[in-house]
Every structure is written in structure tokens, then in C-alpha cells.
Amino acid sequence: MFYFDHNATTPVSAEVLEAMLPVMTEVYGNASSIHHFGQAARQKLDDARRQVAALLGATPEEIVFTSGGTEADNLAVIGTLGFKAGHAITTTIEHPAVLASCAQLESVTRVEVDSRGLVDPEDIRRALRPDTKIVSVMHANNELGVIQPLKEIAAIAREAGAVMHSDGVQAAGKIPLNLADLGVDLYSIAGHKFYAPKGVGALFVRKGTKLAAMMHGGHHERDRRAGTENVSGAVGLGRAAQWMIDQGPAEWSRLAALRDRLENAVLDRIPGAHVNGAGAPRTPNTSNIRFDGIDSEPLLIALDLRGFAVSSGSACSSGAQEPSHVLTAIGLTKEQAKSSIRFSLGRSNDAAQLDALVEAVVDSVAHLRKLAPAYV
């Protein structure tokens, strides 16, 4: 079985597991305890915080460990406004964690994207109001891989005095990051998207940014997130971050070549195939391809039976009857959205696997089209 669904989740890497195991079995103290065991855990936590900060181009004091991207998004959006009066700006293609968080607020404007999935910064400017408190625009889209012009959007938010948040869950570990240069105030990441375990993530909180805690209790994470720290998870996140610092650029170049090889082969060999998001800057590992006349569900099943794991969109929306809100937001019809497949590559994939995937897609699409006489 070959895995091409790394945007949904990644396996825990060998080096991450190696770093975590001693923490689970030997460094088991509470990081808030003052005795030897507690201080050993605190040292591991501090080291991990430095590694995550280095990946993001931040300082350790600006990193808040969370249970993952969803909590980080909720903390950023609701922690900025609470349930107080105020206006938020987001986009129509955000992850449900951001859309649902914004839905809790008093007033929200959802800015549309173009046919490539890109946000026009000037549309953000036009959506600003005197009471706008937060702008939340994802860095890279989970379904299309499209990278937003975040630096320009952050500058517009700063000029208006609004807090700038970005869901960076699909960007961290896939493209170079320097949050100081990007100018964002809040930035969410999730460990399981780049080979750390599920259940750990982080929120970057720029120094001086006001943020109300959502979880109340002890004084953990500088009073921003109460609860005994998940030290082993943080260590795994830190080790995954360090791998990306050391090996990321070479890996991203390798994945971009594989992604281009996949798209070129599919477009060359399958009539009526289209790359959603083509023409926009994208993360190197992600390709979303539409196949005219094909329903994605039987194609997913056919590929799975052939030994290839792919997806039709966000894993967080799996089982939904409605088509992807991201794909309809870029102008696709419901039928077109339901004929699209996401391929997301990772460290385990190589050229031989990719070529085998192409053959499976070509054969599966041809077979399904024979069963659908309406396709011309």
C-alpha cells in the first residue's frame, strides 16, 4: 500500500519516535515541579520550544504549545475577541477550525478567492471596518496547496490596527518560514502534518499581542494555555521541526519534482484532466486534479483497491455529503468539485511509487468512464 495522503496526516518519523521514547519512559516528571525530575522535563520542554521557534523564525517566548492546529486556531480567533463586540475578516476557503471559530463571533466577513484559490489583498483592505479586530487568512490551503500573499495581507491588517492570524498548519514543514518577516501576530501549526505525533501543535503569539486564555487553571505557557504540558509530544514536535530546518529545503525540491512529474503525466495521458489551483504558488507536495465525468468516491475506492491511498479533500470534512467548500469557492460546480482528487506527497514517496500511481489513475479513470456513458 502506497500512501499519498500526507496533507491529512503524516506517519511519525523514526527520528521523532527516537526522541520521544526516552521522555515517555525516563523523563516523566511534571515540568512545573521544582525537583530534579520536574526540571529534567522542563529542560526538554524548553529545548523543544527553541526548535519550534527556530523553524518559524520566532523567539521561544512566542511559542505556545497546544493540542494541535484546531486548538491553536480557536485560541487565536476566540482568544483575540472572546465573545465581545468586534468584526473579523476571513476567507471562504479556510479550514473548518477557523470558519467555525469565526462563526462564534458577532460579525464576520468572508472574503472570496479567485479561480486559482488566491486571495486579493485589496479585497481584504476593502472588507476592513473601524471595528475590525482580527484578520485570519490561511497560509497554504489544505486541499489545493495554494500559498496566499500573506506578507501583503499582514501589512494591510497592521495598518488598520487589526490582529493578523494565519492558519499555517499546511505550510509549516513544507515551505520556508520567517514569521518576523511575514508580519503576522498569530500563527497556528500542527505536528502531525510534518511527522510529529497527533495531539500536539503550537500557536505563535507575537510579543505584545493580547490573547485571552480559553483554558483556565494553572499558569502554564505564560498564562496562555493552562494544563500540564505534553512534554513528550512537544519533544516530538521540536525534533520534527529540527529535521525540517536541516533537511527541509532538499526534501521540498524533491517533492516539487515528483508533484510536477505526476501532473505532467496525468494531464498528458488522461483527456479531461485539470489541475485545480494551477497558476498559483503552491506547496511542493500537493496536487488537486479534476477528472471530467468521474465521481471521486468510486475513483478513491478503485485506487485504494489497487494499493494507493489518496483523498477527495480535507480529512476533517470526511463523510460530508456536500462538495468541498474550497473547490466550490474557486468556481467549480458541485459536479466538478465531486470529480476532484487530492494527491499529497511525503517522505516515503519516490519516483517508482509515483509512476505506479499514474498507471493506476490512468487505468481507473478509463474503466470508470466506460461505466459512465454520459461522459464524452
Average pLDDT, the chain: 94
Give me the pLDDT at residue 218, please.
85
Q: If you average pLDDT over residues 128-155, what whole number do you get?
A: 97
- Residue 376: pLDDT over 60: no
Give me the pLDDT at residue 81, please.
83
Give me the pLDDT at residue 104, please.
85
Q: Answer yes or no: pTM beyond 0.85.
A: yes
Decide if 2-7+248-370 and 14-244 have a common fold.
no
Pick 147 or 85 by higher pLDDT: 147
Q: If you average pLDDT over residues 211-227, what whole number do you get?
A: 86
**Catalytic residue (choose from 24, 34, 257, 316):** 316
Check if 102 is active-site: no
Pick 253 or 314 by higher pLDDT: 253
- Residue 230: pLDDT over 60: yes
Instruction: Determine the topology of domain 2-7+248-370 in CATH.
Output: Aspartate Aminotransferase, domain 1 (3.90.1150)
Instruction: Determine the topology of domain 14-244 in CATH.
Output: Aspartate Aminotransferase; domain 2 (3.40.640)
**Where do the structural domains in the chain lie, given as residue ranges?**
2-7+248-370, 14-244
Give me the pLDDT at residue 315, please.
54
- Residue 318: pLDDT over 80: no
Who's near 303: CB < 8 A, 6+ residues apart?
309, 310, 357, 360, 361, 364
pLDDT band at 297 (very low <50, low <70, confident <90, very high): very high
pLDDT band at 217 (very low <50, low <70, confident <90, very high): confident
Residue showing cell 492570524: 165
Share of the chain above pLDDT 90, in %: 87
Question: pLDDT by residue (tens digit) across 5-58?
Answer: 999 999 999 999 999 999 999 999 989 889 999 899 999 999 999 999 999 999
Pick 86 or 139 by higher pLDDT: 139
